[in-house]
Chain A
Amino acid sequence: MIRIATLSLLLIGSALAQVRHEDIAQGAGQNWLTYAGTYSGWRYSPLNQINAENTRNVVPKWVYHVPGARGLQSSPIVYQGVLYVTAPNSVYALDGRSGRLIWRYADPRAKSQGPNRGAAIWGDKIYFTTTDNYLVALNRHTGALIFNKQYADVAKGTTSTSAPVIAKGKVIVGSSGGDSGMRGFLMALSADTGEELWKTYTIPAKGEKGSETWGDLIDWGGGATWLSGTYDPALNTLYWTTGNPWPDYNGSVRPGDNLYSCSLLALDLDTGKMKWYFQFTPHDTHDWDAQSWPVLVDTEIAGKPRKIVLHANRNGFFYALDRVTGEFLRATQLIDKVTWAKGIDAKGRPMELPNIEPNAEGNWICPSVKGATNWMGQSYNPGTGLLYVLTLEQCGMFYRSAQQPQPMKNFSGGGATEEGGQVILRALDPKTGKRAWEYPMTGLGRMWTGTVSTAGGVIFSGDDDGNLLALNAKNGKHLWHFNVGEMLTASPITYSIDGKQYVAIASASAVFAFGLFEPAVPIEQPVIEIKKK
């Protein structure tokens, strides 16, 4: 009798455990409840069990090989000790202490291909999108399907790759496919039913304000929203970046600034209405999508406290904007070698140098098509007051094709190649935009691993040689590394269960979890009785 009473109490306790807006808004801790750990895009955790002194004792705890996976880009969500990791068109729920599979959901019949960057959680449900634009909601305990809802059509050139962001019961989903011609948008869907709540296009329709910055190809203008964005609950504002205008390398067929491509958009969460926009690269012809993190920080600029949004851009510059008004505050050089603009003017517009367009013979420009940074997670650490950004010093050739542009035919108006290159993890000061320190890395110059940093004063990141590494967040000094034996293409996270801190990262084909060394304790087997039916 007594036993039954405790049992039901326990059950009520866990049945009530629902992920609410406040839980996500609180930021990371034991759990990791949204793609970037916090709505503000910090990839920061207050966990400090693993710290700069004891990181040398970090050892692998478990590995889960995701069947058939290649080039995983997923950043796990963690809730109550369970990791939710995505691979294209599938989700895996793993026991965070042992790496054992709890359930798996797979939808192998999706009509498109491409990576997936992660899941989202709300209430009792796990959410992800299929490559062909279905929002899928699953029971977090069992993986059972609650609902799925198609919100966009692959036949219109749109696919999906990014992790949804959920705020106040709205699931925000983006659009991919901008390199082949499509019309980018951002959508809010109901977390309860998947119904569309609003949809905001990133490229105006013909005749709308901003359409004068395009030619005839505006219907296929691109401006994809293929990376999750950030959110300021106090301002109720979403910050989302947009991708390149289409065709990528041939700008002659789309005269003008091509709004709102390569921009940062500030949208009202409730209505999707644009509060302001800022275009980093007007009339881009180098495929420098604005996809990298809009990181929300409150700091002093020129002695005045300000709510700002930081943006390390693919075009080679590091921006600070007022996130209430969108006012341009400052831009500094993110990488050493930038050959297409001599700087950013007082209004925030690049001061372009002559002869920077892609052409038939190839034009050598820095940064390369990959950009000075890219979608991999950056980290802002309130303890050090520094932003950690993976950067790439690399130049490349840009070609332009004279062919007539054809949407949805994998045509991008030209091409690009890149050569050599060096990845450097840089610590930037949000107050000044200047570098505090940098950590150069070896490898092929691919740059696909993000960062996480903690109150323990440690940054975890990865290099192009497949090493997960830990640096001292204050000074960038090496603390620890571990070779996972294959390419890293995702960002690490950290979580804790049963009072133990873990660091997890997806490598190309597996999920690795690390923690502090503990001597093994022999486990005595319990009595196991096998009952005949």
Chain B
Amino acid sequence: MDTMRVLALVLFAIPLLAQHGRYLSDSKNAAIGDPQAIAAGTKLFMGSCAGCHGPDGGGGARGPNLVRRSLWHPLSDDAIFSVIRNGVADMPPTKLSDEQTWSLVAFIHALTGPASTNPVPGDPTAGKAIYWGAKAGCSNCHAVRGQGGSMGPDLSNIGGSRPLAVIREAIVEPAKDLYYLGNEAATVELKNGQTLQGVAKNRSNYSLQLIDTKGTLHLIEMRNVKKLTVSDTTPMPTDFAKRLSRAELRDLLAYLAQQDVRSKESAQ
């Protein structure tokens, strides 16, 4: 087992965790999701925070990557407010006004909160065409509201459950440890001569749960397996950063950001 695989298995639980908690306790402060407040927050962040957390919150020598951290340590808006006001561990307290602090919270929310709750640039209609079109071929592997393939995770709620930065990484750098979800491309040769091909949703030394290329689930006992072939990296294509133009990627993200099981507009 190489290190990446070990990491991947350990990280398998993270996306599940990240869906918990955060949205239940979110504040109703008007700054959240407000483009003006987010813009003001971005400025403040560049001035007071980027030195430690990096210009895009992606982490620096003295402060953690805030997107990555939010996956294992999701914070409510109120908790972010008090972190900014009071500091935490090596992070110093601030003397910003309530309004400034809330605009910073709005920025962090936009960075780490679900994409559907934040303003997102791009044209979702154009993005829809890219998603369902042949060039990107996303729908061959991913379903949205019952349409599409099943080799990759369902994307019906991708905008309602993931920050934009995470969706972007999942598309442009899918093999990066953090966003590798643990789905393994697998070919299974059974002792009875059958061969099954698909994605292993879960496997141990004793059993294997496989979705085949037609989307049918197979419960397999490892005692019945002659040979199992798995890929060392994610089944998600790794060349979308090259295959799609910047504008295409932006529009695609705008479409994905709308996919939210709790918004009527997301019905495709």
Contacts and interface: CB of A to CB of B under 8 A. Distances in A.
A139 B215 contact: yes
A480 interface: no
Contacts of B219: 81-82, 95-97, 497
Interface residues of A, number: 48
B6 interface: no
Nearest to B147: A146
Contact of A98 (B20, B207, B262): B207
A523 B150 CA distance: 30
A144 B204 contact: no
Contacts of A11: 212, 214, 216
Given A97-B221, A102-B202, A108-B23, A526 B154 contact: no
Interface string B233-268: 100001000000000000000000000011000000
A155 interface: no
A100 to B, nearest CB: 5
A1 to B, nearest CB: 12
A68 interface: yes
Contacts of B238: 533
Contact of A145 (B24, B157, B231, B232): B157
B10 interface: no
B196 interface: yes
Residue among A82, A100, A526 facing the most chain B CB atoms (10 A cut-off): A526
Interface in B1-59: 2, 5, 16, 19-21, 23-24
A531 interface: yes
B233 A533 contact: yes
B146 A144 contact: yes
B188 to A, nearest CB: 9
A295 B157 CA distance: 40
B78 to A, nearest CB: 17
Given A3-B193, A81-B219, A97-B219, A530 B232 contact: yes
B82 interface: no
Contacts of B209: 95, 100, 102
A526 B20 contact: no
A49 B20 CA distance: 41
B176 interface: no
Contacts of A108: 19-21, 23-24
B19 A106 contact: yes
Contacts of A525: 205, 222
Contacts, number: 136
A532 B232 contact: yes
B117 to A, nearest CB: 10
Contacts of A524: 223
Nearest to A146: B146
A144 B196 CA distance: 21
Interface in B99-122: none
A145 to B, nearest CB: 4
A528 B228 contact: yes
Nearest to B20: A108
Given A526-B227, A533-B232, A144 B16 contact: no
A7 B156 contact: no
Residue among B150, B201, B206 facing the most chain A CB atoms (10 A cut-off): B201
Interface of A: 3, 6-7, 10-11, 14-15, 67-68, 81-82, 95-98, 100-104, 106-109, 136, 139-148, 497, 521, 523-533
11 contacts: A3-B195, A7-B196, A95-B219, A98-B207, A100-B204, A139-B143, A146-B145, A528-B228, A530-B231, A530-B232, A531-B230
Interface of B: 2, 5, 16, 19-21, 23-24, 143, 145-146, 150, 154, 156-157, 160, 193-196, 201-202, 204-207, 209, 211-212, 214-219, 221-223, 225-233, 238, 261-262
**Pairs A-B, 5 closest by C-beta atoms:** A144-B154, A146-B146, A145-B156, A141-B217, A526-B225
Given A144-B143, A527-B228, 9 more contacts: A3-B195, A11-B214, A14-B218, A109-B160, A141-B211, A524-B223, A531-B229, A532-B232, A533-B232
